[in-house]
Structure 1
């Protein structure tokens, strides 16, 4: 699946069953289904991409302190850009094109 196909899938009624846990979480985050995305991030705490997602989610909710903690856990600097741009950057780590 390409990034463009992933983005298009956000209009579907349900998350595609073939998605990895990270793509499922990103799919929910891309639809502003914060709690569902957060639950998945918490289930995979300690994995760098999930910790990055966790940071993004707390940034999205306006909790900069908590986001900073998760960026540190992920070994990443605080993202310098919009939340949407960060969501795309993280999604693109998992998808070609």
Structure 2
């Protein structure tokens, strides 16, 4: 069971995400595995602000900053300008800290 960011990060070495993850965290997990398409499929139809944040991050990875900006706005977040790794860590920590894994 994943209960914190360190455990979540360590779980990326597995073949599949932990089954108890919600959609935004599962998408973030797949993004860490380099599976952008799988991650995008998970969040593209989700309506939560958490999913929108992960969606923004995915479009930032893709290099589509216009689309990313739209999704950051939907998430109620400022456009990220740090490293992708730092943003991944911030999203994971925030989502896991919300108790909504």
Contact 2:50-2:95 within 8 A present in 1 as well? no
Aligned to 1:62: 63
Q: Provide the residue aligned with 2:85 in structure 1.
A: 84
Q: TM-score, normalised by structure 1?
A: 0.90
Runs ≥4 residues deviating over 2 A: none
- Where structure 2 has 5 or more consecutive residues not aligned to the other structure, the ranges are none
User: Is the 8 Å Cα contact of residues 23 and 51 (structure 2) preserved in structure 1?
Assistant: no
Name the counterpart of 1:95: 96
Root mean square deviation of aligned Cα: 1.1
Unaligned residue ranges in structure 1 (runs of 5+): none
**SS of alignment partner, residue 32 of structure 1:** coil
